[in-house]
């Protein structure tokens, strides 16, 4: 069964303290792996799409990487405005499936 597991569930950082969020997945033929940011009461906001192992993408203080079993979202020198829930989702390549399978997210709090 296709599955996505994110860790840790919650993470508290001091401003400037770099860290990484993990997304482990099992899927039949990965079509794509997506990272989203979600603020309370809002819809997910797209960050990155990764399609193949070894791929990396960066945006401001965020960098996403992908291996055959997991993805990492690295946050460098975070600021309080980076506080949010970060969601990882995969799209399986089997049976022409285009749905996203989400993990439960990592709640990030960055303290000033």
Applying CB under 8 A, the site for another protein has a residue count of 24
In the bound state with another protein, the residue whose beta carbon lies nearer, of 45 and 60, is 45
**Which residue from 91, 92, 108, 110 is in contact with another protein, where contact means CB under 8 A?**
91
| Beta carbon nearer to another protein, 65 or 91 | 91
Integer Cα distance of 30 and 86 in angstroms:
20
What is the DSSP-derived secondary structure letter of residue 80? G
Answer yes or no: are the C-beta atoms of 72 and 100 closer than 8 Å: no
Judged by CB under 8 A, the residue of 90, 103, 108, 110 near another protein is 103
Other Cβ atoms within 10 Å of 87 Cβ, number:
22
Spatial contact of 102 and 57, defined as CB atoms under 8 Å apart: no
| CB of 15 or CB of 58, closer to another protein | 58
What residues form DSSP beta bridges with 4? Answer: 25
Question: Applying CB under 8 A, which residues contact another protein?
Answer: 4, 31-32, 34, 36, 41-46, 49, 87, 89, 91, 97-105
């Amino acid at each position: 069964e296709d599955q996505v597991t994110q860790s840790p569930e919650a993470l508290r950082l001091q401003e400037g303290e770099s860290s990484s969020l993990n997304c482990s997945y099992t899927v039949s033929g990965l079509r794509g792996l997506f990272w989203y940011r979600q603020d309370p009461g809002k819809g997910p906001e797209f960050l990155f799409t990764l399609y193949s192992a070894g791929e990396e993408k960066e945006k401001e203080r965020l960098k996403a990487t992908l291996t055959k079993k997991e993805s990492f979202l690295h946050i460098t020198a975070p600021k309080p405005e980076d506080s949010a829930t970060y969601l990882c989702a995969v799209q399986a390549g089997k049976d022409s499936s285009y749905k996203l399978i989400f993990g439960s997210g990592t709640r990030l709090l960055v303290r000033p």
